[in-house]
Amino acid sequence: MTACESSDADPPIPVAGDELNDHPIAGQIIGSDPSEMADAAEGVEDEVEPLVDHASAAEPDETVPHVFPALRGGCEQLAGELREFLIESVANTGGHLSAGLGTVELTIALHTVFNTPHDRLVWDIGHQAYPHKILTGRRDAMHTIRRKGGLSGFLSRSESEYDAFGAGHSSTSISAALGMAVANTLQHCERQTVAVIGDGALSAGMAFEALNNAGDIDCDLLVVLNDNEMSISRNRGALHNYLARLLSGSLYTGVRERSKSILSNLPGMKKFLRRWEEHMKGMLMPGTLFEELGFNYIGPIDGHDLPTLVTTLRNLQGLKGPQFLHVVTQKGKGYHPAERDPCNFHGVTPFDRETGEQHKSSTTQTYTQVFGDWLCDMADADPQLAAITPAMCEGSGMVEFSGRFPQRYFDVGIAEQHALTFAAGLACEGIKPVVAIYSTFLQRAYDQLIHDIALQDLDVTLAIDRAGLVGADGATHAGVFDVSFLRCVPNMVVMAPADENECRRMLTTAYRYAGPAAVRYPRGTGPGATIARELESLPIGKAEIRRHGAHVAILAFGSRVAAAVEVGEQLNATVVNMRFVKPLDTEMIVAIAAGHELIVTVEENVLQGGAGAAVDKALLAHGISMQTLNLGIPDRFISQGTHAQQLAECGLDARGIRAAIENRIGHDAACATLAVSPSGASSHG
Q: Known catalytic residues?
A: 331, 416, 444
| Contact predicate 322/350, CB 8 Å | no
Cα distances (Å, whole numbers) of residue 410 to 376, 377, 426, 441, 605: 14, 18, 11, 17, 30
Angle at 571 between CA 565 and CA 576, to 5 degrees: 35
Sign, Cα dihedral of 179, 418, 472, 480: positive
Alpha-carbon distance of 80 to 362, in angstroms, equals: 34
Instruction: Give residues with Cβ within 8 angstroms of 591, minimum separation 6.
Output: none
| Contact predicate 520/469, CB 8 Å | no
The arrangement of strands across the sheet holding 432-438 comes to 409-411, 385-389, 432-438, 461-465, 517-520, 493-495, 580-582
SS (H, E, C) 310-355: HHHHHHHHCCCCEEEEEEECCCCCCCHHHHHCCCCCCEECCECCCC
| Contact predicate 217/319, CB 8 Å | no
DSSP for 19-82 reads -GGGSTTTHHHHTS-GGGSS--STT-SSPPPPPPP-TTPPPP-TTSTT--TTIIIIIHHHHHHH
Q: Find out whether the peptide bond into 583 is cis, omega within 30 degrees of 0.
A: yes
Sign, Cα dihedral of 193, 228, 339, 169: positive
CA 352 to mean position of chain CA atoms? 24
| Contact predicate 443/485, CB 8 Å | yes
H/E element, 672:
helix 667-676
* 236-244, Cβ contacts within 8 angstroms, sequence gap of 24 or more: 236/203, 236/391, 236/411, 236/412, 236/413, 237/203, 237/412, 237/413, 239/199, 239/202, 239/203, 239/413, 240/199, 240/203, 240/413, 242/289, 243/199, 243/326
Q: Find out whether the peptide bond into 300 is cis, omega within 30 degrees of 0.
A: yes
Find the Cα–Cα–Cα–Cα dihedral 600, 601, 605, 609, rounded to 10°.
-110
Alpha-carbon distance of 197 to 221, in angstroms, equals: 13
Angle at 13 between CA 7 and CA 17, to 5 degrees: 150
Nearest to 365 by CA among 357, 374, 356: 374
DSSP for 581-648 reads EES--HHHHHHHHHTEEEEEEEEEEESTTSHHHHHHHHHHHTT---EEEEEEE-SSPPPPS-HHHHHH
Q: Find out whether the peptide bond into 117 is cis, omega within 30 degrees of 0.
A: yes
